[in-house]
Structure 1
Amino acid sequence: MKFSENWLRHHVPTTATRDELAATLTAIGLEVEDVTPLGESLDGVVVAQIVSAEKHPEADRLQVCQVDTGNGTVQIVCGAPNARAGLRAPLAQVGAVLPGGINIKAAKLRGVESAGMLCSAKELGIDADASGLLELPADAPVGTPLADYLGLPDASIEIKLTPNRADCFGVRGIAYDVAAACGGEVAHFDATPMPALNNEALAIELNAGADAPRYLGRVIEGVNAAASTPVWMAERLRRSGIRPVSFLVDVTQYVMIELGQPMHAFDRDLLQGPVGVRRSRAGEALKLLDGRDVTLDDQFVVITDADRAVALAGVMGGFDTRVTDTTKDVFLESAHFAPAAIIGRGRKLGLHTDAGHRFERGVDPELPRIAMEYATRLIVEVAGGAPGPVVEATLSEHLPQPQPIALRRARLARVLGLKVADAEVERILRALGLAVEPLAAAEGWRVTAPTRRFDIAIEEDLIEEIARIHGYDRIPTTLPAGAARLVAPTETRVDEPTVRRQVAAREYLEAINYAFVDEALLTRWGLAEGVVPLANPLSAELGVMRPSLLPGLVAALGRNVARQQGRVRLFELGNVFTADGATPWVGGPTAHGHSAGEGAPLHTQRVAAVACGAAGTEQWAAKAQPVGFHDVKGDLESLAAVAGARLEYRASRPGWAHPGRSADVFRVGDDGAASKLGWIGQLHPRLQRALDLDVDVVAFELDLEPLLDRALPRAGGQSRFPSVRRDLAFVVPEAVEWGAIAATVKAAAGPSLRDLVLFDRYQGKGVETGFKSLAMGLILQEESRTLTDQDVDAVVSSVTQAIDAAHGARIRG
């Protein structure tokens, strides 16, 4: 927010110096980012008029001007391209010292005497424009000191506002804070209603519900649209960072900067009526004031004329109904739009406007009437015209209603750590424009915030107001007292730092990615269904919440590979988000996610890792091998071992995964029940090409919560009876997975089976095409006795029959 220092002092008279004012603004939370002094040294600079301008006899680019100073005529040699007879411009007389230390002396330029200098705005230190002389209005009084005429010296102050202080997007809103901090009072503001001089009006229809609960319109007939913007208005706008355009446009900008209420002026003759407010329709076209043609979806709010969209509500007006110098009748708009209806709409179209910036953060719903009367008076005073009646449409049920808040004296003292005098509390609150009523029994006060203060809703908000105005530097520093209760960490759960250390010990580097991703990226992964869109994204490329950690991790891996990193290993712990009721992609229906409430997105904490390049670091004793499924599986097993988890893998083929190199990961409980945790595997070559990756990527992603549970370790003895190993080789169809065979073996072998080892897989001579040979070792042992040959043979027979029946396998000869 940028504004003129003199403009602020007009609303809140104060004896504070400029430096003190800037320091006070920063101290109360309105951080001053820049103060630009304007017109600090203009003694000897007056308003002058060029009487004649003749070509210099010795220089093509110079002119010899006779200039009326109001106290006689002097000769000036000038090289400005816009110097011409009749122009009124600033003249620095002999003896003046301009900003930057320029001393004005009588001189002879190419043989011609010159007694002073006609100046540009940049030479005077009041603007950056150095393209020519500063052109003053034709009615500027010749001979008047320029500083008096332009209201100088002044300063342009720019403050950085936090999103909750939308009330300070107007000079008058800032004035309340200054009044409270400096012990002053905000000057009276004249918003006397302008009487209607005719019956000309346009009907207004509200069809956007809570998005647009208030809309005011007024017709002003017979306006001189070509009237010049008054110099005081133009200068205040210029010092607020807005370049004057034309009076009817400038007046709406002026009211917005002063009060914080955006407005818009339509050419009445280009409207049929009625004027309406509704949601846009998908595919609806609109030409904006900047000349761009945009196509809307159904998420915008538009202003309509006989149902034809003529403006983008709260963002920008339309080109077809704009005011020009030929406009005679004006339709003036002043409205209240809900922040939720405006947030992000301009950004969708690549727009950032002052109006949208204010409506996104919240504008006082009571301001439209005040702004309408004020703008009407300014227009009539400068450009003439006859105003009609103000037509107002309101949906009162959708307008915020201030509620009284109890501020307890004891609570205030406890939170701040000091006692603030009652009189000071009441002075601060009233200076800020709050209604204060003492409560009975000396408990405190009942405070009602004005409608412009959206940020004041609870008692702590009032305490914050007292603290920042009373002065944070006056609050004592007190160390907390009391003993901290030490709690021993539980052994039944693995903490997150341990997970991070374990994965990092496997040579993975931790990555931190945005929780927002590009929906186009998720579409390439096949993960775009059920995503949670953002109402106000940082950019179009960060428009939805991530449903998986892998797209962001793989993108980070790709950036590293593109920078000549051949061996990349990254991991991340973070939340993923799905719409309420949607199915999480990894775990299917799960109880691992958490929601903030009904209808809120479901968020689940996960751990994911990606790897590419060599399996191990380069060395002389062994050839480099590319990282594969089993390398990453080993890393995952080491992580599971920290929690004592037994994992099981079942082949799966999600769209992003390589066929035959992908598996769902399950955790097997002590009772044999398996719950799905996530996925492990290699990315599909088609996806890798779409992501511009020329390396194979192996990854896993698991729900973290069920992986962290750890059973208490219990000591157990080893059986004192010997174990027996029997090796078996089966020929099975190629399509049969080892996981399925292992499950069959474990079920058939019974409690005597201590371990099952796959030690060979063979295809080739002796094994027919379409089949494979799997050799496994069964390790059998009992706790109470030595196994006999008959016991072992019975187990082997049971296993052989079960594999034959379930998988069509036969013993390899």
Structure 2
Amino acid sequence: MRIPVSWLSQHLELPEGTTPQQLADAFVRVGLEVEEVHPLATVTGPLVIGRVAQIEELTEFKKPIRYCKVEITGPGVVGAAAVAAAEEAPDGAEEEAAEQAAVAAALTEPPGIVCGASNFREGDLVVVALPGAVLPGDFQIAARKTYGRVSNGMICSVKELGIGEDHAGILVLPPGSASPGDDAATVLGLHDSVIELAVTPDRGYALSVRGLARELANAFDVPYGDPAGNEPPEAEGEAWPVHIEDRAGCRRFVARRVTGLDPTAPTPWWMRRTLMLCGIRPISLAVDVTNYVMLEMGQPLHAFDVAALQGGITVRRAAEGEKLTTLDSVERPLSTDDLVVCDTSGPISLAGTMGGESTEVRDSTTDVLIEAANWQPATIARMVRRHKLPSEASKRFERFVDPALPAVAAERAAQLLARYGDAKIHRGRTDVGSPALPEPITMPLALPDRVAGVRYARGVTAHRLTQIGCRIEIGSADDGTAVVVAYPPTWRTDLNQQADLVEEVLRLEGYHTIPTTLPPVTSGRGLSPAQRRRRTVSRALAAAGFVEIIPSPFTGPGMWDALGLAEDDVRRNTVKLLNPLEADKPELASTLLAGLLDAVQRNISRGFRDLAVYGIGQVVLQRAEQPAMPEVGVAGRPSDEELAALNAAIPHQPVHVAAVLTGSRERGGWWGKGREADWADAVGAVREIGRAAGVELEVVAGTQPPWHPGRCAEFRVGGIPVGHAGELHPKVVEALGLPKRACALELDLDALPLLTARPAPVVSPYPPVLLDLALVVDETVPAAKVTEAVRDGGGELLEDVRLFDVYAGEQVGAGKRSLAFALRLRAADRTLTVEEATAARDAAVATATERVGASLRA
């Protein structure tokens, strides 16, 4: 919403010397968002009003060019031009200064100006920038020869003057609005400023001068004049027959008629200027008046050409197959949910959005029917989105328009047309419908003080509620407490409860007056064990080179298909969303991999292929027999039975940790060749998670989609599967467009035993004994089982065991492979002897032989 300061000032008594920035600060204080304050562009030098005396068409050029004689006689014009010409001449340039002085002297006669626009004629009043003037953008005007003529200045457009964006033609002022030689900066009001605000959806009344001026009056605590404060005069009969079929969609419909309108009457300059500063292009008197009243009061209007109307007006829902050609000359098929204004020929207007082409006001229209209606916001919002047709009118109707305005706004528009278009107001007025009024609200008089923790002065609550338009009554409750009964104004439908009234009092008194008090910190035990484990796991993965992201909790069937999940896979049994943010993601994810892989795809599409990302969060797992969510009222606290039913209907939501690796795990360079990420990195990351959580994870071969069946590890705790890691299936990689051999892991953190206390590690001061051990096993035996056997056989002296080499070849025989382990043995209370270390190693070999059939490699 753009609004000039000069217009706001007409409706309230601002303190003398108030600047536009102070007005913007006042808007912010009362809770409105100010985008920017736009001072009108500064013009220096001679800028005057001129009358076009003569036009000579120069036809020898490719484009239309005119050589115009413009009368600019007036006090001070010649002198100002001469001074500006002399100031323009550089030091020592006597010849050029003399030439410019001659030009200035020549201005006693109508100067000749070359112009390429053709929207003006002889006798029109225009704005002339004389030599020496500087227009916005540091555009300096000087006498120069062009198109075979000497142009002594420039005839200006709206955009060149900085008061609008229209650059299609010259600014032509209405007759009588100024005289040749008048100072154009004063006539045009170039010393004004425009304040641009972002009005939130709950403040529809602020999309008007009426609402904004009221907010400023409240902020400065000064008198305010409501432009809609006068009741319209009594009318005799109807202006036009109107019938409302859909009372829910149309709450009120007012029609006022004017006849004998002069179609050639120009829009007065002050109105055109106001519309341009508000960002609306002037069109014609009838259209400009409706736009002006909309900006002034907040009530959108529409004008019909009475000569084009066929019979009475009906407001109804569109019928199947109906079409309407709107003012933008687009034929639009209508939906049965569309609300339309019709005559006997069919739809003639899309209610609250855009009028129809068949009944638009034309250059020859003399008989106008003014419509001022009140529409249901939800209906207008749906129509705007369905037809992709936002407008200034729909912007206001979507946010709610004061239902008391239609008659006042229609009367205001009719009076303006009568004053400036020589029209006659028809004696009748049609007023159909009666919208419901806001319900009164009873509130303890001291409630704002209690909420804010501030003791306001006596009468503040009543004063502020009166300022926003409430009618109030002071009384007392049964216990003797003072209460105020507030009757909200018709333009404030957002006032529905005590909290709304409290907020109004607090914001007008100023949020800065409310003291800031930090709550005392209560003693506690800090993070819970689950929270500490989650943070420890996150730090461990970050230290291992992974980057944390927050995966999207939403997904869809397309992701399950890409992951290769079977139709009966439990992960497909998801919770569906009633109103999804994205049409292709209507479900809550049952695995973090869905969101992680989606993020990986997005990064790869932007050229990032070397990725190691992880996420920790809840997944939603639907139970086999999930109870339906019960409906619980809000009149009181739910009963214990209702709470139990609500909790039972909530799906299981365990905390998972997942990660995805693609591309290089170790980058190559001058230091050597890099290394691609593989399944071992994913398995190693899970082991790191287990160590961080203080849990020993058992590893077995797995076959869980979306992992490669031969390169998937399943992790168990106490024989129960808790997660998987490994290389993604090639079909999954292809379906998602991932780099080859992409890897992933996912682990159920909540399924891991939660250690509430961990024993402090014992550090032995004695030296370790380092031994290597090579065992030959069948190639089908997992290395994890061999490692587990070696660890169990080594006993308490075996401090660490690490697999450092795998060999398969002729030396170990077909179907066999050699696994080489590095053993570190140490005692806590003594230095180990060779015999003790050897005995521990032999015990490890014996256990491995017994469990997995291993033999010591020669």
Structure 1 and Structure 2 fold alike (TM over 0.5): yes
How has the CA–CA distance of structure 1 residues 679 and 373 changed in structure 2, closer, same or farther, with 3 Å as cutoff?
farther
Distance 1:523 1:326 in 2: 64
Shift of residue 135, structure 1, vs aligned partner: 0.8
Residue of 264, 283, 286 corresponding to 1:248: 286
Asked if structure 2 preserves the Cα contact closer than 8 Å seen for 1:493 and 1:643, the reply is no
Amino acid at match of 2:611: V
Residues 1:51 and 2:22 aligned together: no
**Partner-residue secondary structure (3-state), 2:473:** strand
Match of 1:759 in 2: none
Q: Is the counterpart of residue 89 in structure 1 residue 94 in structure 2?
A: no
* Counterpart Cα distance in 2 of 1:487 and 1:499: 20
Matches of 1:306 and 1:689, distance apart in 2: 61
Change (3 A) 1:596 1:373: farther
**CA, structure 1 residues 666+104, in 2 after alignment: closer, same or farther (shift >3 Å)?**
closer
Q: What is the CA-CA distance between 1:85 and the residue it aligns to?
A: 1.4
2:113 is aligned with 1:78: yes
Match of 1:609 in 2: 659
What is the CA–CA distance in structure 1 between the aligned matches of 2:757 and 2:222, rounded to whole Å?
Answer: 71
1:632 to 672, 675, 682: 682
Give secondary structure in 2 for the equivalent of 1:14: coil
1:202 counterpart = 2:242: yes
Deviates more, 1:513-522 or 1:240-249: 513-522
Q: What letter matches 2:525 in structure 1? A: V
Structure 1 segment 547-586 matched on structure 2, within 5 A? 547=589, 549-562=592-605, 564-573=607-616
Cα distance change of structure 1 residues 112 and 559 upon mapping to structure 2, 3 Å threshold: closer
Whole-Å Cα distance in 2 between the matches of residues 38 and 372 of structure 1? 32
Matched, 1:435 2:489: no
- Residue 276 in 1 paired to residue 278 in 2? no
Distance 1:293 1:97 in 2: 47
* Distance in 2 between residues matched to 1:686 and 1:280, nearest whole Å: 50
Cα distance, 1:494 vs structure 2: 5.4
SS of equivalent to 1:29: coil
Show CA shifts across 1:498-547 (max 9, x none). 34324434432112366678998899789899753658x6xx89996764
1:30 counterpart = 2:32: yes
The change in CA–CA distance for 1:509 and 1:45 in structure 2 (over 3 A counts) is: closer
Q: Which has the larger Rg?
A: 2
Partner of residue 158, structure 1: 196
Q: 1:3 and 1:44 mapped to 2: Cα distance?
A: 28
Corresponding position: 1:466 with 2:510: no
Secondary structure at the residue paired with 2:10?
Answer: helix
Report what 1:501 is aligned to.
539
Does the CA-based 8 Å contact 1:108-1:114 persist in structure 2?
yes
Distance 1:348 1:521 in 2: 29
Contact 1:640 1:707 in 2 (8 A): no
**Aligned pairs (5 A) from 1:326-475:** 326-327=364-365, 330=368, 332-343=370-381, 346=384, 350-383=388-421, 384=423, 387=426, 388-393=428-433, 401-409=438-446, 411-440=447-476, 441=480, 443=482, 445-475=484-514
Compute the displacement of 1:315 (Å).
Answer: 4.0
Choose which of 125, 134, 137 in structure 1 pairs with 2:174. Answer: 137
Q: Which amino acid aligns with 2:429?
A: P
3-state SS of 1:159 partner: strand
- With 26-35 and 117-126 compared, the bigger mean Cα shift is at 117-126
Equivalent position amino acid for 1:447 in 2: A
**Which segment drifts farther, 383-392 or 540-549?**
540-549
SS in 2 for 1:429: helix
Q: Which amino acid aligns with 1:430?
A: T
Q: Is the 2:239–2:256 Cα contact (8 Å) retained in structure 1?
A: no
Per-residue Cα deviation, 1:215-251 (whole angstroms, up to 9, x for no partner)? 4152636464564333222211111111112333333
Equivalent in the alignment of 2:801: none
Amino acid at match of 2:472: V
CA 1:62 to 1:303, structure 2 compared with 1: closer, same or farther past 3 Å? Answer: closer
Amino acid at match of 1:695: K
Residue 259 to residue 553, structure 1, CA distance change in 2 (3 Å): farther
CA contact (8 A) 2:326 2:357 kept: yes
Would the alpha carbon gap of residues 169 and 264 (structure 1) be closer, same or farther in structure 2, given more than 3 Å must change?
same
8 Å contact from structure 1 (residues 52, 67) kept in 2: no
Q: Which moved more, 1:589-598 or 1:234-243?
A: 589-598
- For 1:236-272, what per-residue CA distance to the aligned partner results, in whole angstroms no more than 9, with x for missing partners? 1111111112333333322322222333344552566
| Equivalent residues of 1:533, 1:543 under 8 A apart | no
CA distance in 2, matches of 1:541, 1:9: 49
**C-alpha separation in 2, matches of 1:620 and 1:39:** 60
2:714 paired with 1:710 = no
- Alpha-carbon offset, residue 12 of structure 1: 1.9
Moved more, 621-630 or 558-567: 621-630
CA distance, structure 1, for counterparts of residue 711 and residue 489 of structure 2? 61
State the partner residue of 1:512. Answer: 550
Q: Does structure 1 residue 67 correspond to structure 2 residue 102?
A: no
Say if 1:360 and 1:55 are closer, same or farther in 2 by CA, change over 3 A.
Answer: closer
The 8 Å contact of residues 185 and 191 in structure 2, kept in 1 or not, is answered as yes
Partner Cα separation in structure 1 for residue 748 and residue 393 of structure 2: 44
> Which position in structure 2 is the counterpart of 1:742?
none
Q: 1:484 corresponds to which residue? A: 522
> What percentage of aligned pairs have identical amino acids?
30
Equivalence map 1:506-545=2 (5 Å) = 506-512=544-550, 531-532=576-577, 534=579
Q: Does 1:185 align with 2:253?
A: no
Instruction: Kindly state the Cα deviation for residue 145 of structure 1 after the two structures are TM-superposed.
Output: 5.6
Rounded to whole Å, the distance in 2 between the matches of 1:279 and 1:663 is 60
Aligned partner of 2:829 in structure 1 is none
SS of equivalent to 1:422:
coil
Distance change in 2, residues 1:95/1:521 (3 Å):
same
- What is the distance in 1 between the residues matched to 2:704 and 2:357? 54
Whether 2:206 is the aligned partner of 1:168: answer yes
Report how far residue 201 of structure 1 moved: 1.6
Contact 2:403 2:491 in 1 (8 A): yes
Would you say the 8 A contact 2:592–2:656 is kept in 1? yes
Distance 2:630 2:726 in 1: 29
Q: Alpha-carbon deviation of 1:181?
A: 1.4
Alignment check: 8 A CA contact 1:47 1:140 kept: no
1:648–1:667 Cα contact (<8 Å) kept: yes
TM-score, with normalisation over the residues of structure 1?
0.69
CA shift for structure 1 position 176: 1.3
Partner of 1:776: none
What is the rounded CA distance, in whole Å, between the counterparts of 1:284 and 1:635 in structure 2? 63
Unaligned runs of 5+ in 2: 78-107, 565-571, 634-645, 760-775, 781-814, 817-849, 851-858
CA 1:31/1:563 → structure 2, altered by over 3 Å: closer, same or farther? closer
- Tell whether the 8 Å contact from 1:194 to 1:376 is kept in structure 2 after alignment: no
Q: Separation in 2 of the partners of 1:311 and 1:701?
A: 58
Q: CA distance change for structure 1 residues 250 and 498 in 2, over 3 Å: closer, same or farther?
A: farther
TM-score (norm 2): 0.66
Contact kept, 8 Å, 2:374 with 2:403, in 1: the verdict is yes
In the alignment, what sits opposite 1:9?
Answer: 9
Contiguous gaps of at least 5 residues in structure 1: 577-583, 716-726, 732-771, 774-795, 797-813
Distance in 2 separating the partners of 1:625 and 1:488: 42
Distance 2:499 2:577 in 1: 32
Q: Classify 1:462/1:653 alpha carbon distance in 2 versus 1 (closer, same or farther; 3 Å).
A: same
